[in-house]
Amino acid sequence: MSTLTAEVAARIVERTMAVIGHNVNVMDDRGTILATGDPARRRQQHEGALVAAQNDRVVAIGDDQAGLLRGAQPGVNVPLHHRGEVVGVIGISGDPAEVQVLAELIRVTAELMVEQAGALEHGQRRQQELDDLLTAVVAGTLGGAALERRAAALDLALDVRRRCAVVRPVHEAGLEDLRALQRRLERTPDLLVARTHPEELAVWWPAEAPRAYDEVRRGVAAHADRLEAAVGEAFDGPDGMRRAALAARDAWRVAHLGEGLYDPRDLPLVALLCGLREDWRAEAIAAPWQALVAADRHGDLRRTLRTWIEHDLHPGRTAEALHVHRNTLRGRFERIERVTGLDLRRVPHLLQLYLGPLLSR
């Protein structure tokens, strides 16, 4: 795809005509006028420009020649180059003797603008390819040799130990904030950014460069009422980016379980266990917790269990925190055991209740 688009051509015309007193035309390499100060000539074929492009030379057209070339008027037509190739022609209307010098000067400006457009297009194309690659990696549809080939083409190192954060909108109104944050982070060094879901932005950074996450933190803080983030553990190796993203998603799920059973200090372990949710065996482990939820209409039993865990299974501190007598606390424990069929004095049974909210679908 040519970097000399109609939009780039229009910018060239607008910028150059603002400083000279002559009409400016910009043509593609086939001589078609893409942009001009004379709207009536737009999309016309300019045979003088076609000759300039095909022969890669300046074509000056006088009054006596203008009538012989379709779409041409007196002036000078100069080829525009990008990476050694002719991509178009810039023409200035007027007496060739007067506008020849102007044409050469304006060509420099125009080629710089084409170069900038090319760099921007290349960057956008690379970002799109990177976004596609990372999204496929997280989805588990790209790995092995195919991943290595595409990563090498994008100069992406797979052996770097990385952490990942997932950023999601608090509500639908935050989607525009998510897009704005994505544009901001794509310009930040050391960050890999991908829209892995319509409502999820994944951001990776080297674990050895934790300050790279500062820009993510600042970006989320700037939209604190609309965006939230969760961070997972660090991983490396060919599957490291996928594992880091899944760990971040698990951290998000844990943070939004709403039962308050999990201490933030235990988040790395709990987040990793959260990945077991999709395993068929999780259903059996979660069944006692689900039975407790169904029987606990007012939430007293779950609140008691949560407080007990928060106070490291100490009956006295638990009763004090709940503002209940120890006999009341003992009665609640007995009800929990009847409903769930578990013995709270046994660590495996207590662990099963602890994991219940985590593994419930």
Residue 198 lies in a domain: yes
Would 137 be classed as within a structural domain? no
Last residue of a domain, one of 122, 137, 172: 122
Residue ending a domain, choose from 99, 122, 145: 122
Q: Is residue 148 part of a domain?
A: no
Assess if residue 150 is contained within a domain. no
Residues 109, 82 within the same domain? yes
pLDDT per residue of the chain (361 residues) written in tens, 0 to 9: 457 888 888 888 888 888 787 899 999 999 999 999 988 888 898 999 999 999 999 999 988 887 778 888 899 999 999 888 899 999 999 898 888 888 888 888 888 888 887 766 666 677 788 888 888 888 888 888 888 888 888 888 888 999 999 999 988 878 888 988 988 888 888 899 888 888 999 999 999 888 888 888 898 888 878 899 988 889 988 789 899 998 888 888 777 765 556 666 666 667 667 666 667 778 888 899 999 999 999 999 999 998 988 888 999 999 999 999 999 999 999 999 999 999 988 988 988 888 888 787 6
> Where a domain ends, among 222, 256, 290?
256
CATH of the domain at 102: 3.30.450.40
pTM of the model: 0.54
Do 354 and 280 share a domain, yes or no?
Answer: yes
Q: How many domains does the chain have?
A: 3
What is the residue range of 322's domain? 275-359
Angle in degrees, 0-180, between the axes of helices 300-310 and 315-322, rounded to the nearest 10? 130
Q: Are 333 and 289 contained in the same domain?
A: yes
Residue 116 is assigned to a structural domain of this protein? yes
Pair 13, 118 in one domain? yes
* 74 and 169 fall within a common domain: no
Residues 180 and 98 in one domain: no
Q: Is 268 part of a structural domain of the chain?
A: no
For residue 270, tell me if it sits in a domain: no
CATH of the domain at 325: 1.10.10.2840
